[in-house]
Amino acid sequence: MGIFDKIKNADFHLDDCPECGDDNLNGGMIDSTVVCQSCGYETEFTEVNRFTPSKAGDQEYGKEITEELVADANGQSVTDDLLRKEINRQDGNYLLDHLDDDEQPHHIIEGQTIDVEGGGDSSSLLGNDRSRKMSFFDNRCFTVITDNRVFVVVQQFTGNDERNIPYDSITGMDLDVMGTNKRLTLQTHGRTYHISGTLTEEEECRDALKYIRQRRNEVNQGGNSDSNETNDDPLDKLERLKVLREDGTLSESEFNEKKSELLDRI
């Protein structure tokens, strides 16, 4: 069953009565008051609604759908609030709408800009064949890393800009950090994407980069790479060495020595 099959079949259900324990509450969202038909206990709908219905585009779904996606995510950035985030205020489109059937999000990076180099997109003040999409005020640039792909949605007043980046198209990746500014760079055969991650914690951005590299390697190897092959990737080891240096486990000289050995293998 795909995600929208679950969404279409989802419904809200009231909990058992907090007073007598019977499954005999009666009421709903409109009048907000719920009354137990067994003992007469009164409460509010929001206090006993087991699954809170919401709208994702034209689909109605319960909170249990997003709870499952959040529980199965590798990172901490996939939350119920973000999955229910209204991306397009005109048609009620939610971030959840952008997921394919059975697609699992693992990280959601939040920022405000995406720069795209190459592909003949446009010429701009940033230079020839380079374009920038920027969100303002409470709008966001969402980068969603799933088990199938990376996709970016930039909220704009003139209409959202969307980018889809398959794992098998990614040839290189990097994360630049300067203070609170984080920038994820994904290189493909035709374009290079510079994606802002300013509103996401650095550790989550690094975890997202590791996951992208792992999935890229798995896809390029036919989806059958094992954990040992992934762990032997020199770039993965270099990322782990950086973490060890930052937390004081490795000295600067030890880090540089091991870094030199790894770079010789690339």
3-state SS string over the chain? Answer: CCHHHHHHHCCCCECCCCCCCCCCEEECCCCCEEEECCCCCEEEHHHHECCCCEEECCEEECHHHHHHHHHHCCCCCCCHHHHCCEEECCCCEEHHHHCCCCCCEEEEEEECEEEEECCCCCCECCECCEEEEECCCCCCEEEEEECCEEEEEECCCCCCEEEEEEHHHEEEEEEEEECCEEEEEEEECCCEEEEECCCCCHHHHHHHHHHHHHHHHHHHCCCCCCHHHHHCCHHHHHHHHHHHHHCCCCCHHHHHHHHHHHHHHC
Residues forming a β-bridge with 149: 166
The per-residue pLDDT for 49 is 58
250 torsion bin: left (phi>0), alpha (psi -120 to 50), beta (else)? beta
The per-residue pLDDT for 85 is 83
Q: pLDDT means per 10 residues in the chain (266 residues)?
A: 42 70 70 81 71 47 77 93 79 82 95 86 56 83 97 84 92 93 93 95 96 95 52 68 73 77 64
Tally of CB atoms within 10 A around 120: 10
> Does residue 38 contact residue 166 with C-beta atoms inside 8 Å?
no
Determine the Cα–Cα distance for residues 173 and 216; give it in Å rounded to an integer.
10
User: Tokens 């007469």 — which residue?
Assistant: 40
CA dihedral 223, 224, 229, 233 (to 10 degrees): -10
Q: Which CATH class is domain 103-232?
A: mainly beta
100, 153, 196, 197, 204 from 177: Cα distances, Å? 31, 22, 10, 9, 12
Determine the Cα–Cα distance for residues 260 and 255; give it in Å rounded to an integer.
9
Determine the Cα–Cα distance for residues 259 and 236; give it in Å rounded to an integer.
11
Q: Which residues contact 22 (CB under 8 A, 6 or more apart)?
A: 16, 36, 38, 39
Determine the Cα–Cα distance for residues 84 and 94; give it in Å rounded to an integer.
6
CA dihedral 122, 183, 210, 144 (to 10 degrees): -60
